[in-house]
Amino acid sequence: MTSVLKHEIEQLVLSGHFASGERLNENTLATRFQVSRGPIREACRALAETGLLELIPNRGVFVRSVSEEEAADAYEVRAALFGLAARLAAQRISTDDLNTLEEMLDEMDSLAEKELLEDYYHVNLNFHQLILKASMNKRLVTDYAALIKELHLFRARGLLHGGGLHKSNLEHRYIIAAFRARDAEMAFRTAFEHVQNGKERMLHAEGKDPRRSGTEG
């Protein structure tokens, strides 16, 4: 029961049903899932251990707020992991998966033209997940997924900033070109730079780099 509830509540948080910093009402969730408050409390405690929720004594359970500095740090780790995944995938990916990735690129181009951010974001997630799967490294997939959840609240920031959708998808095409060439080092470099560029787009959308003194706009 707890694992099922954990998954359901996690999906509510990741879908944006709750805002960053919002308090989760145990009674409302218990009514929604037709269970008592006990299993809800256990599921929330388990999600707090993953870093998605935050337990505040005498106040309740809240969606974790990720600061810009924490997000920037996580992006840098994510860049290294995604670069490694691309390096491995360049050597291991199947032709069928490559063709699927290119179909996703065309779909994202179409969505970018219409500025359908949420639709683009979901295809974008699937694109990255397929590359992780193609790396054939289960530990890498698990660690990367944990970072993605932590960065969820920053997922849309920067994608519309300065043509971010189109720039992001062009970077995707560089990664696929490296895969087609079976060039592992180029795959690492283009994938690493793609995530680093995503970090910069996020920071520019927020208006500053949290590591710099506060005069920059």
Per DSSP, helices labelled H in 52-206 are 68-92, 95-113, 117-135, 138-150, 164-180, 184-206
Q: Are 161 and 115 in contact (CB under 8 A)?
A: no
- Averaging pLDDT over each range in 37-46, 56-65, 96-105, 146-155, which range is the top one? 96-105
Which tens digit of pLDDT belongs to each residue from 184-210? 999 999 999 999 998 888 777 655 444
* Residue 142, C-beta contacts closer than 8 angstroms, at least 6 positions apart: none
Write down the pLDDT at residue 120. 87
> At 182, is the secondary structure helix, strand, or coil?
coil
Q: Which of 184, 124, 214 is CA-nearest to residue 160? A: 124
Q: pLDDT tens digits, residue range 104-124?
A: 999 999 999 988 877 888 899
The Cβ of residue 192 has, within 10 Å, a number of other Cβ atoms equal to 20
| Residue 5 C-alpha from the chain's centroid | 22
83 with 178: CB under 8 angstroms? no
Query: What confidence tier does 155 reach under pLDDT thresholds 50, 70, 90?
Result: low
